[in-house]
Every structure is written in structure tokens, then in C-alpha cells.
Amino acid sequence: MAKKKQVQLSDARAIAYDVLVRVDQGAYSDLALDGVLSAVPELDVRERSLATELVYGLLRRRGNVDFILAAYSRQPIAKLETQALWLLRLGAYQLIYLDKIPQHAAVHSTVELARQLGLERITGLLNGTLRTMMREPQRVKWPTQDVPLDWLTYKMSLPRWLAQRWLHEFGVEQAGLLAETLLQVPPTTLRVNTLKCSRDEFIAQLEAAGLEARPTHYAPEGVIVERGQLRAAPDLDPELYQMQDEASMLIAHLLQTQPGDKVLDVCAAPGGKTTHVAALTQNKAEIWALDLHEKRLGLLQGSAERLGAVIKTKQWDMTQPCTLFPAGSFNRVLVDAPCSGLGVLRRNPEARWRRTEDDVVRLAKLQKKLLANAAQLVAPGGLLVYSLCTTAAEESVAVIADFLKHYPDFSHEDLRLRVPQRWQELFNAQGQLVTFTHRHDNMDCFFAAALRRRV
């Protein structure tokens, strides 16, 4: 047991294997990987980077890698034991996608890892399969765009149900472009905490620390780190920034919050958007944050304290009518709803293989309930903003259409009338925010709509 633990803590490949098996059993990749890496602060930065690439890269391209392995495996992939399959995937991913690792090293390290894990019985399988991949790459016959469903499923590494959906919604070309961008490593995007620093000042600090950064195109407080890693700048003050995608930064702006407003975020944790609202109003709005889970509210409170954001929190299940406040208490309400996460698959790669068509239907029902209960807290003349990171129409435009049908005291508001000119391309014909990674400066896919309560 001690030997196995030592292997996990000292080698990138063993760390990746350990995390991937945990993810296969239901863990979240970011939490599992961060937990292991934080336990070994002495681990070389190159090993950390390799472990991260192996975990996230392989989870994004699992369907792609399995298609390749199927050309070499003597038995169906689904029938391989879990340990052998993950080790094969690790070896194959290195052979195919990590050019800086010599092929013989990728094979040798995979076989040695199996031995160190006490899996001597499968070393022959690993060695034979991976070496055949090296010798006979021509075995793999990729489907072309002429067979678009197979092309998206195998070449673009999408679950088949999602490939079918995107083909229907976007067509072959756009579905392919979107799928390709969601296979890439997402940018390191930061929101500058304007309560304590300007964007120009923060970029200067990044550059002084040896990092290269540029302003985001749309969000006025966003920064993209183009070269270098934050961990290489330990003196950078964590009070000055929040990790947040640019699309997510747009949501707080859409609330159009003013000093003196009463604001409620009903699904607030971990708090990126809530603390952003506080920054936009310079802490001059009364902001309340609700969440179902007390532990997640703790994360939000920690972020608010770090950033200097003044936010009040309460625990509540918004699937139930909220009795914490009188009806109509807030003139700004945000429902950043739990969703399928289909727009952020590059950031949460295991969701690619966990989500199902049934999840989309189930979540749409939940979202309708959350939106309806939140609506009761909007004051006459107040604004209700609904947002989420999905590409599914059932969770976005259909939820809004259903809401307007049942709540005639609300009207749809065209967000294009309230945003800068350079943002206009981010909205559909109804004035709803619809961002796509492959179209809009590498942002996540987001949806948002505004609903005004009549006076």
C-alpha cells in the first residue's frame, strides 16, 4: 500500500491515473486533481503540468482515444477491465497527442506504471497494444464529414446524443467548429477586482511577474493570460482578481444594477457573478445571495471577504417559494440556474460523458421552477435576469417562452438596447445573449435573457 501511495505522489502519470479512476467512480476532475496536487507542493512544475494535461486532455478526447484503441484491441473496449482501459487510454493519449514525449517513453512509462500499481498481469496487453499503435498507425480509419454523425462522435469526441443534437441545431460546419473549440484548453481568464485595482494596473502587475496578458474584448474588467502560469507569480495579490470566463463576466453587466438597488442572486455559489455585481456598484447596492448548500455559501463568503465585496447570504432551496423576504423585495434578481453545462465542456470535461438527453429534460423542469419562484421576489418595474452555460434550447429559449406564457405581468426585454455597440454580435434576434466559443473570442457558451416586471 505504501508503495502505491508513493507512486501516486511522485509521478505525473500515476497521479493522472489515480484521478481518472476517481472521476470514473463519480469524482469531479478539478477537485480530485487539485486535492492530489495540493498534497505534494514539492512536485516539479513540469510534472504538475503533465498530470493536468493528461487528466483534462484525456477526458476531453476520451471518445476519440477509444475509437483509436478499438482498432487495436483484441476485445471490445467496453469489455476491458477498468484498470487496463485507463492505462491504455493514458498510453494512447501520450502517443497521439503529446509530441514532446518520445513514443518509446510513452509505452515504457505506461507498462512500468502498471507494474508499480501491482498490475503485472496486464503489462503484456499494454505493451503489445501500444507498440502495435506505433508500428501500424494506418489501422485507424477516421470517418469524414460525409458521415457527419460518426465524424462528430469519433473524430470530435462527442457523445452520440449530443452530436445528433448539434447537427440538428447548428448544421455540420458549425457543429464541427464548436466541437473542435471545446476540445481545446480553455484560456486562463481573470476578472480584475475593480474594488481594489484597475485593469491596466493589474496587467502591469502580471507583466512585472513575467506573465503576458491582454484585455478581454467584451468585458471591461477581463484579462486573458496568454503566456505564463499564475502559480509562477506567487506574489500576485489574490485580492485583486477572480478566475472567471469572459462570458460569465457579461451577466453582472446585464443586470444594470445601480447604487442603492436591492439585488438578489438566488443560485449564487460559488459567487463569481455576485461579487462582480458588488464591484460594479462599488459596494453601494444591497446584495443578497442564496444557495441550497451551506458549504457552497461558505465558499461564496470566503470569496467575498477576499475581494472586499459586501454580500449578505442565506441558505434556501429555491425549488420552494422563498419566505425569507416579502414578495417584490428586490428590483434586480439573478437566476444563474443549474444546467447541463454543455457550453463549458472544455472546463468540465467529465460532463461530456456523464450528461444525457434525459438530464436536459430534467434540468429544464428544475429551471422553470427556479425562475417562477424567483419571479415572486421581483419588485414592480424590476428586472429578472436568467442565465446559464448551455447550448440546449430546452434550457434557454424554451424556458423563457414558457415563463412568459404563464406570467403575463412580465415582459421580455431586448438586452441589445442596454449594451455597448461592440456587444451587439453576442445577441440573437430576440435580444437574448447567446455566446459561442468558436465565434466569440474563445468565450464559453452562455445564454441570458432579461424579464421586466410591469409596474
Q: Residue for cell digits 451551506?
A: 294
The upper half-sphere exposure of residue 412, i.e. CA atoms within 13 Å in the direction of its Cβ, equals 18
Distance separating alpha carbons of residues 211 and 242, to the nearest angstrom: 17
Q: Which three cell numbers mark 129? A: 497494444
- Please tell me the predicted confidence (pLDDT) of residue 4: 41
Residues 206 and 257 reside in one and the same domain:
no
Distance separating alpha carbons of residues 342 and 445, to the nearest angstrom: 8
The residues, ordered by sequence, that sit 6+ positions from 425 with a Cβ below 8 Å of its Cβ are 440
Residues 176 and 268 reside in one and the same domain:
no
The upper half-sphere exposure of residue 438, i.e. CA atoms within 13 Å in the direction of its Cβ, equals 14
Residues 101 and 37 reside in one and the same domain:
yes
- Please tell me the predicted confidence (pLDDT) of residue 41: 86
- Provide DSSP, 117-144: TT-GGGHHHHHHHHHHHHH-GGG-----
pLDDT per position as a tens digit, 221-276: 999 999 988 887 888 999 999 999 999 999 999 999 999 999 999 999 999 999 99
Torsion sign (Cα): 394, 396, 397, 401: positive
Q: Which of 204, 220, 243 is the last residue of a domain?
A: 243
Residues 389 and 409 reside in one and the same domain:
yes
pLDDT per position as a tens digit, 9-63: 568 999 999 999 999 999 999 999 999 999 888 888 889 999 999 999 999 999 9
90: CATH = 1.10.940.10
The upper half-sphere exposure of residue 230, i.e. CA atoms within 13 Å in the direction of its Cβ, equals 16
Residue 82: pLDDT band by 50, 70, 90 thresholds?
very high
Length of the chain: 455
Whether 198 shows a pLDDT value over 90: the answer reads: yes
C-alpha 163: how far from chain center: 19
**Residue 156: burial class (beta carbons within 10 Å; 0-12, 13-18, 19+):** buried
Residues 263 and 401 reside in one and the same domain:
yes
Residues 406 and 304 reside in one and the same domain:
yes
Number of domains in the chain: 4
Catalytic annotation present for 389 = yes
- Please tell me the predicted confidence (pLDDT) of residue 234: 83
CA torsion 179-185-187-188 (nearest 10°) is 140
SS3 string, 201-270, reads: HHHHHHHHCCCEEEECCCCCCEEEEEECCHHHCCCCCHHHEEECCHHHHHHHHHCCCCCCCEEEECCCCC
Domain of 393? 246-453
328: CATH = 3.40.50.150
Residues 301 and 229 reside in one and the same domain:
no
Residues 277 and 160 reside in one and the same domain:
no
Q: Which of 243, 261, 288 is the last residue of a domain?
A: 243
Contact call for residues 345 and 295 (beta carbons, < 8 A):
no
pLDDT per position as a tens digit, 139-179: 999 999 999 999 999 999 999 999 999 999 999 999 999 99
Contact call for residues 223 and 244 (beta carbons, < 8 A):
no
Q: Which residue type does 129 have? A: T
Whether 99 shows a pLDDT value over 50: the answer reads: yes
Q: Which residue type does 313 have? A: T
Whether 8 shows a pLDDT value over 80: the answer reads: no
Strand partners of residue 387: 336, 448
Distance separating alpha carbons of residues 432 and 274, to the nearest angstrom: 21
Mean pLDDT of 333-350: 97
Contact call for residues 307 and 275 (beta carbons, < 8 A):
yes
218: CATH = 3.30.70.1170
Residues 110 and 197 reside in one and the same domain:
no
Whether 189 shows a pLDDT value over 90: the answer reads: yes
Residues 73 and 194 reside in one and the same domain:
no
Distance separating alpha carbons of residues 213 and 6, to the nearest angstrom: 37
- Give me the catalytic one of 197, 267, 339, 389: 389
Residues 62 and 175 reside in one and the same domain:
no
pTM of the full structure: 0.93
Residues 253 and 394 reside in one and the same domain:
yes
Distance separating alpha carbons of residues 104 and 109, to the nearest angstrom: 8
Q: Which three cell numbers mark 188? A: 486562463
Whether 344 shows a pLDDT value over 90: the answer reads: yes
CA torsion 288-292-294-296 (nearest 10°) is -80
Distance separating alpha carbons of residues 416 and 431, to the nearest angstrom: 5
SS3 string, 360-380, reads: HHHHHHHHHHHHHHHHCCEEE
